[in-house]
């Protein structure tokens, strides 16, 4: 994609978010939604972020995406979402920017939900190259009440270090471990080891990418408490989630 087209996408915010539910396995209730950027201009939004990261518009794209996701979640907030959480993705190189927290505070100013309903998912890529500034901004965000997650744990080389250094509230284990979990002893052992770490350090554990019932049942038997994946919910447009939440609120 040409630079002009990317600028058009960013300047005119030609994107929206889909929301994917995370489920608590004990109560089978939704604990929150991850906001996932979608745009007609890029089939795979990962490629958009990858390309933007090579330009000086990366921070701007991330900020606009966060602002829009927070606005959308604000529209969702009703009785049934009172305690639900919004999960947003942030790249470490943007999170360490001096102005990041100032902007986030601005975006939160007129919202109906609290900072402790916002989970900031930190993609583990190049976390360890930025660990000192990250530690600083993460501790400021925690003081303000925001929750921190390390995303895609087990995918890259530095995610275990990131968990130890940043002491997140949530660990999200990469979908690789959920895929065919039921038939892989080794995947079960890997998941179990991180689940145990989380239990012993008061960290919430999320397994991403659950797609079949057998893997869900195995996850439950290993002690996984929160899951995300197509089996339980696909990412859906805001309007669909809004209807669902309204219905839930009315049913109570």
**Chain contacts with Ca ion (rule: CB under 5 A):** 89, 121, 151
Compare residues 36 and 128 and give the one whose CB is closer to Ca ion.
Answer: 36
Q: Give the three-state DSSP class for 234.
A: coil
Compare residues 31 and 80 and give the one whose CB is closer to Ca ion.
Answer: 31
Minimum CB distance to Ca ion, residue 88 (Å): 9
Q: H or E segment at 111?
A: none
**What span, in angstroms and rounded, lies between the C-alpha atoms of 174 and 219?**
13
Compare residues 89 and 137 and give the one whose CB is closer to Ca ion.
Answer: 89
Which residue in 30, 12, 29 sits closest to 21, CA to CA? 30
Minimum CB distance to Ca ion, residue 140 (Å): 22
Minimum CB distance to Ca ion, residue 19 (Å): 12
**Buried residues in 149-171 as b, exposed as e (16+ CB within 10 A):** bbbbbbbbebbbebbebbbbbbb
Q: H or E segment at 211?
A: none
As given in the structure block, the two tokens for residue 166 are: 């940043």
Minimum CB distance to Ca ion, residue 151 (Å): 4
Residue linked to tokens 């009703």: 78
Compare residues 80 and 123 and give the one whose CB is closer to Ca ion.
Answer: 123
Minimum CB distance to Ca ion, residue 203 (Å): 16
As given in the structure block, the two tokens for residue 241 are: 């989630």
Compare residues 35 and 80 and give the one whose CB is closer to Ca ion.
Answer: 35
DSSP string, 58-97: HHHHHHHHHHHHHHHHHHH-SGGGTT-EEEEEE-HHHHTS
Minimum CB distance to Ca ion, residue 172 (Å): 6
Compare residues 121 and 215 and give the one whose CB is closer to Ca ion.
Answer: 121
């Amino acid at each position: 994609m040409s630079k002009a087209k990317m600028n058009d996408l960013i300047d005119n915010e030609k994107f929206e978010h889909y929301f994917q539910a995370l489920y608590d396995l004990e109560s089978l209730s939704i604990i929150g939604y991850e906001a996932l950027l979608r745009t007609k201009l890029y089939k795979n939004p990962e490629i958009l972020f990858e390309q933007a990261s090579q330009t000086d518009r990366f921070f701007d794209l991330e900020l606009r995406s966060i602002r829009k996701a927070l606005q959308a979640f604000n529209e969702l907030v009703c009785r049934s979402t009172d305690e639900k959480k919004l999960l947003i993705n942030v790249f470490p190189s943007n999170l360490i920017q001096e102005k990041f927290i100032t902007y986030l505070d601005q975006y939160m100013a007129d919202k109906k939900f609290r900072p402790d309903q916002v989970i900031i998912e930190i993609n583990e890529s190049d976390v360890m190259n930025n660990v000192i500034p990250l530690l600083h901004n993460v501790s400021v965000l925690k003081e303000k009440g925001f929750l921190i997650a390390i995303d895609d744990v087990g995918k890259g080389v530095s995610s275990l270090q990131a968990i130890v250094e940043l002491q997140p509230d949530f660990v999200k284990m990469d979908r690789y471990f959920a895929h065919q979990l039921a038939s892989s002893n080794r995947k079960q052992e890997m998941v179990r080891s991180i689940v145990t770490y989380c239990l012993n350090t008061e960290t919430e554990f999320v397994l991403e990418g659950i797609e079949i019932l057998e893997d869900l049942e195995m996850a439950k038997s290993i002690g996984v408490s929160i899951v995300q994946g197509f089996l339980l919910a696909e990412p859906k447009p805001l309007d669909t989630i809004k209807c669902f939440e309204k219905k839930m609120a009315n049913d109570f």
